[in-house]
Amino acid sequence: MVRDTSVNLCGIRLQNPVIPASGTFGQGFEMARWYALDKLGAICLKGTTLEPRFGNPTPRIAECTGGLLNAVGLQNPGIDALVSKVAPHVRSLCRTPLIANISGFSVEEFGICCEKADACEEIDLVEVNISCPNVHKGGMSFGTDPAAAAAVTRAARKALRKKPLLVKLTPLVTDITAIARACEDEGADALTLINTLPGMRIDIRRRKPVLANRTGGFSGPALLPVALRLVNLAAAACKIPIVGCGGVASASDVIEMMMAGATAVQVGSANLRDPMACPGIIDALPALMEELGIEKLEDIIGII
């Protein structure tokens, strides 16, 4: 029996639910030399800001038990380069749906970037990362306050007249459902969760932080239980689709995420450890579905 791995995300049919997470897959085209990008469910492009950013000083990656820390600092060529060069280049290599990941340091920046992404024919969906610091509010993350999350979502929704809007949530909140509902109420078509947790490593011989930035975002397998819980809570609180992210490294993890309520799943740190992680997960899904008696992946979304 042929197992159906396809899912519908915001009206776009993905041949499978596996999406490389933003920031862990370059801009996508770098991986085309290793395998056909059309194998993926979708591709989430590297995080983009209004202006080009060089990123943080090195070292900005640190290994740790159960995952890794990164403090790359949103290094990217800026939104204009994304829509004029990067997205067209990736599209020339595949027909896989492309997701632009947008970051901003003010509500206005989010709106401008989303408007430019909306006008780009090669981009299919837009994911807004609200874990960025709000420069007008003393650096507090947009995603930690329902009102701020709503403001960004409202601005993005106004700018996006053609593309579906995904909002990526931070786990650093006491009530994820309040943030999730605020985004849904302002027009988000889907939610992505979770983003990284803050962490730190210290070089005990040098007596200094391992990262030049002192702290970074912790990701990897250790995050999976945290992500599963928050995905499950958000899925129960909202009617829009959830994209699960955090610690996914196997076909089994994908099934868990979908049972918790995710329609699609992003694979992050696993790509940095093994560039073939995503195709390996995709190849393993049909056999695991057969073992578990699953005919269609969509049948298990949110069954827990």
- Total residues found in the chain within this entry: 304
202 vs 265: CA distance, rounded Å: 32
Among 213, 174, 217, residue whose Cα is nearest residue 197: 217
Catalytic residue among 113, 114, 120, 132: 132
35 burial via Cβ count (<10 Å: 0-12, 13-18, 19+): middle
Residue with tokens 């920031």, as numbered in its chain: 23
Dihedral sign (CA 37, 268, 145, 175): positive
Class of residue 90 by CB neighbours under 10 A (exposed 0-12, middle 13-18, buried 19+): buried
Per the annotation, the verdict on 120 as an active-site residue is no
Burial of 226 (0-12, 13-18, 19+ CB in 10 A): middle
| Geometric angle at alpha carbon 210, from 129 and 144, rounded to 5° | 25
65: number of Cβ within 10 Å: 9
Burial 48-60 (b: 16+ CB within 10 A, else e): bbbeebeebeeeb
**Exposed e or buried b for every residue in 208-225, given b needs 16+ CB within 10 A?**
ebbbebeebbbbbbbbbe
Active site residues: 132
